Every structure is written in C-alpha cells, then in structure tokens.
Amino acid sequence: MKTLNNGFCILLIIYLFVPLCLMAQNKEITITTSSKEALDFLLKGRDKLENFEEADAAALFEKAIQKDPEFAMAYLYRSQSGGGFNVFRQNLDKAAGLISKVSEGEKYEILYFQALANGDGLKRKEYLDRLLKLFPSDKRVQGLAGIYYYSINDFNNALKHFTKSTELDNKYPPSFNMVGYCQSALNNFKEAEKSFQVYIKLSPKSPNGHDSYAELLLKMGKYDESIVQYKKALELDATFSFSLIGMGNNYIFKGDYEAARKYYQDYFNKTPSSSGKLIAIYWKAISFIYEGKIEKAISIFDEYRAMAEKENQMTNAIMAYANQGFIFSESGNPAEGYKYFGKAFDLIEKTNLQETVKANFNTYSMMWNYYTLTAKGELDKAKAEAEKCKQKVESRKNPDEEMFLNSIFAFFEIRKGNYDKAIEYFAKADTEDPLNWYYNGVACDKKGDKKNAIKLFEKVAKWNVNSLNLALVRNRATVELKK
C-alpha cells in the first residue's frame, strides 16, 4: 500500500523519552508531552500507522489525546490516520494551535503538514529544508523528504532520501517499503522486488509488505501472483481490508468487471469508516467507465455524493460533481460536463469551508472552468481564463497545481492545432498520468510522429495502475493502436 493517502503524507517522527518533557536533540526530533502514558500510546500508534493499520493507530492516538489533551503530535498523528477530511482537518488545526508548546523540530513538522494541507508549496518546501538541515541523521526526516519528492514524481531524489533512511537504520521497515515504490516508479522491477522482500522479512507479521509486493506484481501484469500476495496480506490480518481493493483492481485488468465489483463491495461491507465506504463506491464507479457504461458510472457517483453529504464529508461531495463533470467531458459530452462542474462551483460557495480549503478549491475551480471551456471548443473564452489561472497558480508554488495547469495548457494547444507547443507543456505536466500520455500521443500523431505516438498509446494500453484517468483513455488508446 502506498504511503500517499488522499493526497497527504504519513507523519514520520522519532522520540526520546525524558520525564515530563521530551526535548529536541541534535540528531533526532523528539516529542513533547507531559504524560508518559500518552507517549506510550502514541509510539504504539505510530508503529501501527507506519504499517497502515489505520483503525488501530487512530484508537491509540485518541487514547494519547485523552491522557494529554495538549499533546500536539498526537493530534498531528491522528490527522494522518483516517476518518475523512473533517477528522484530518480538525486534528491538524488542533496541532497547529498548540505549536507554541512544542520543540523546534515538532514545530516545523506541524507547519510542513499545515502548508501541505493549505496548498502552499513554497512554505512546504521551506519547512522540509529546515528539518533536513536541523536533523539530517533522523531516519524519519529523511523519509519525509523522500515522500515529498515522491509526491512530485522526482523519484530519483526520493530514492536518495529513502536509501539514506535505510542507511541510518537498516532495520526500519517503512523506508524499505518506499525504496521499493521508488524502484517500481523507475521501472527497476527487480530492485523493487528485493526491497519489498526485505520489508516483508523485517515485518513478518505485518500484512502491508505483502500488499505492497502485490501492487508491484499487479503493475507488472502478473495478476494471479498479485492476487496470491493480497490474499496473504488478508491471511495475516483479516481486518486489513484495503487489500480487497487491490484484488478488485487485478480483476479490472483481467477484464472481469463483475468480479472486481464484488471485491469492492466486500471492502464496502468490511470497512468500518464512512471514508472507506466512499472509496469502495468510487472504485465501483470507475469500473463501469472501463466498460463504457458512462451513465451507470455517473449514477454511482450520485450515490457517492449522497453518502458524502449524509456524513458531512462535503469536500468529497464537491469532488463527486467535479468527477462527473470530467467524465462527461472526456466521454464526448462536454456541455453536460460543464453543467456538473457548475454544480461543484455552486457547492463550494454554499458549503461552510475553511478559508484555506476554499482557496484550494477556488484555484482548481478556475482551472476546471478553463478546461471545460476548452473541451466545449470555446477557445476564445478559454484563452481569456488562461492568464488568470497562470497568475493564481504561480503565486501558490504548488507542484500539483502547476502540473495540472500544464496539462490543460497542453490540452488547449492541441485544440488550437499547436502540437509542438502541446508536447512542451506535457513535459512539465504529471509524467505519471495516463491521460497526459494519451493526449501527448494524440499530439505526436497529429504532427506526424507516429513512432512516439504508438509508444505513448502502448504505454496507456499496458498500464496496470488503476485510476479514473486511465479508465477514461485506456480503451481509446487501444483503438488508436488498431488504426
């Protein structure tokens, strides 16, 4: 299982207990608390969280908070351990409110995650650099740096930091897990397999090692072997139900969509949280897109939004409309897509969101509007929006927003017939997104570069990492290859 969950990194810290107050040392970040019992609960929860046993981890962090209601790092950890956006944000804000009572290292960790949540890329990098300067020998700080670079697709730098973490402690499982993911992202599958095997050896009772190895096998197209590993994860811990999603994903690529949906439904039935149930509904909707059943996918997203609204998960409800708008737009009905994006905009305005959350959504709303105008062929109107989007995104220095903007700039240039310019923008967009590969292939094909077009379409058609974007273009890439 990846360390990236709903766009946020898992918290990585280390401790040294001193009665009543845990002070920062030069070598490692430490935790400040007035309660030894609270510390004990937090450390046990951290071990669970680093092995992706979120429910158990969350319960332990709650106990730590009960023992010490001013335990900033317990709130920060709790924000990372599931329960949906509201739980995440409430606990992160609580940690930030206690920042005057923590050590220097803890302060920068809290500020790092706050900047991440607020979409402030410049501050996020600034706080990470300070942590690296202050605590270069802290394996978890090196791991946090690795996660940062992994999240922006700089896998070589990510690998450097994760490798440094393993050198600092060659018996620390999480960094071997992420070395495996980096090697996988770099298509060094043999090296990835070695790292996952080390991870499994270091944590023989943890299901996550088998889950991670299963994901590698799935990416390699070894579906039956992947399913075996997912089953091993569940044999080790029947409550590690997210492996059911992985099993469903295998059946997506085996072409058995009914079987895939049975596993997604099984996950829905077994996961105790509303956020987990929303994940199950999401993947069910995606499965219908692969089948070309767009209206069915749209109706499943209606179910998703209804549950999100019932559970007061309003950010999920907003994204349900946005996803519906995107699906319609990419499926040949941009006028209907524009209507659904409009519903997302309306819900953003009506919902009582924190200012920073609303600012994030408003930035994406500008880009969604630009995208849908382009999809509708209203290029003059889209061009008028482009500069506004550029100024807004440049002011925020957020890598995710920058990559997304470059992808829709490329989409616009394809519509204008400027294929070389489109290809230039794709080089600055998300290089791990199959939607970008597909449209890059279209640009290459239109300019007469059949060789690179075929390579890109083949890459899409053979990709085995499930996503909404892949569902929208996998069959289209296959059609292009048959021409």
Residues in the chain: 483
Domain tally, the chain: 3
Q: Are residues 366 and 284 in the same domain?
A: yes
pLDDT, mean of residues 389-397: 94
Query: Does residue 120 share a domain with residue 19?
Result: yes
467: closest CA among 432, 426, 428?
Answer: 432
Q: What is the pLDDT of residue 30?
A: 85
pLDDT score for 20: 33
- Helix H or strand E segment including 4: strand 4-5
pLDDT at 8 over 50: no
User: How far apart (Å, rounded) are the C-alpha atoms in residues 127 and 104?
Assistant: 11
Residues 3 and 90 in one domain: yes
Predicted pLDDT at 17: 28
pLDDT band, very low/low/confident/very high, at 65 (cuts 50, 70, 90) = very high
Alpha helices in 10-120 (DSSP H): 36-50, 54-67, 72-79, 85-97, 104-118
DSSP 11: P
Residues 107 and 10 placed together within one structural domain of the fold: yes
Query: Does 281 share its domain with 350?
Result: yes
Same domain, 126 and 1: yes
pLDDT of residue 9: 31
Give a yes or no: residue 412 inside a domain.
yes
Q: How far apart, in Å, are the Cα atoms of 34 and each of 22, 41, 65, 416?
A: 8, 13, 11, 63
> Is position 370 within any domain?
yes
pLDDT at 357: 93
Checking if the pLDDT of 14 tops 60, the result is no
**Residue 179: inside a domain, yes or no?**
no
Q: Of the candidates 147, 120, 51, which has an alpha carbon nearest to the alpha carbon of residue 360? A: 120
4-13, 209-218, 300-309, 392-401: least confident range: 4-13
Residues contacting 108, CB < 8 A, separation 6+: 127, 130, 131, 134
> Domain check: are 49 and 97 in the same one?
yes
- Structural domain ending residue among the three candidates 358, 383, 408: 383
pTM: 0.90
Which of 108, 135, 162 lies at the terminal end of a domain, its last residue? 135
**CA 384/CA 380 separation, integer angstroms:** 6
Two structure tokens written together for 5: 């969950």
Q: What's 365's domain CATH number?
A: 1.25.40.10
The percentage of residues in the chain with a pLDDT greater than 70, rounded to a whole number, is 95
Last residue of a domain, one of 87, 115, 135: 135
- Looking at residue 402, what is its pLDDT? 97
Is residue 298, in this structure, part of any structural domain at all?
yes
Mean pLDDT across 52-72? 95
pLDDT of residue 7: 32
| 7 assigned to some structural domain | yes
Q: Does the structure show a pLDDT above 90 at 398?
A: yes
> In the predicted model, what is the mean pLDDT of residues 382-404?
95
For residues 352 and 470, state if they share a domain: no
Q: Is the predicted pLDDT of residue 2 greater than 70, yes or no?
A: no
The pLDDT of residue 123 is above 80: yes
Instruction: Render 204-243 in DSSP notation, one character per residue.
Output: TT-SHHHHHHHHHHHHTT-HHHHHHHHHHHHHH-TT-TTH
In whole angstroms, give the CA distance from residue 332 to residue 296: 16
Q: What is the rounded average pLDDT for all residues in the chain?
A: 93
Tens of pLDDT, residues 86-116: 999 999 999 999 999 999 999 999 999 999 9
Between residues 483 and 182, which one has the greater pLDDT?
Answer: 182
* The pLDDT of residue 146: 98
Both 457 and 482 in a single domain? yes
Structural domain of 294: 273-383
Residues 3 and 123 grouped into a single domain: yes
Tell me if 266 is assigned to some domain.
no
Q: What is the pLDDT of residues 152-199, one digit of tens each?
A: 999 999 999 999 999 999 999 999 999 999 999 999 999 999 999 999
Report the C-alpha gap between 180 and 155 in whole angstroms: 11
Choose among 27, 31, 52, 53: nearest CA to 40: 31
Mark whether 13 and 103 lie in a shared domain: yes
Largest Cα span, the chain: 72
The per-residue pLDDT for 326 is 98
The pLDDT of residue 330 is above 60: yes
User: 193 lies in a domain?
Assistant: no
In a domain, 173, yes or no: no
C-alpha dist (Å) from residue 291 to 227, 329, 472: 22, 17, 10
Pair 13, 115 in one domain: yes
